[in-house]
């Protein structure tokens, strides 16, 4: 049986790994630290898939999540990846 890529599923919101520069700019813009962000665990299936796809570890990184079908239109959320 073929392995399913959950990142391509229509019900999974788009997850974008911010670059280090984008992370610093985002944190500075809102005058916050990583610990002020909502968390997402490395055990989350989407995080696992991203790590496998990009061949990097995401612990300590910030992920941008774009939800196109939120009630108010497109919703953009940020999560801090923790173990």
pTM above 0.75, yes or no: yes
Residues linked to residue 76 through DSSP beta bridges, in sequence order: 66
Helix (H) or strand (E) holding 50: helix 45-54
Residues contacting residue 16 through CB under 8 Å, at least 6 positions apart: 63, 64, 65, 66
> Using one digit for the tens of pLDDT, what is the confidence trace for 13-71?
999 999 999 999 999 999 999 999 999 999 999 999 999 989 999 999 999 999 887 67
What CATH code is assigned to 12-82? 3.90.940.20
d(CA 60, CA 62): 7
Query: The tokens of 68 are what?
Result: 């196109």
CA-based nearest residue to 13, from 50, 71, 67: 67
């Amino acid at each position: 049986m073929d392995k399913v890529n959950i990142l391509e599923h229509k019900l999974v919101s788009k997850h974008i790994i911010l670059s280090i520069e984008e992370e610093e700019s985002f944190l500075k813009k809102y005058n916050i630290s990583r610990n002020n962000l909502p968390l997402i665990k490395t055990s989350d299936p989407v995080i696992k898939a991203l790590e496998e796809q990009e061949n990097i570890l995401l612990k300590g990184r910030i992920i941008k999540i774009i939800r196109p079908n939120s009630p108010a239109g497109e919703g953009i959320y940020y999560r801090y990846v923790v173990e």
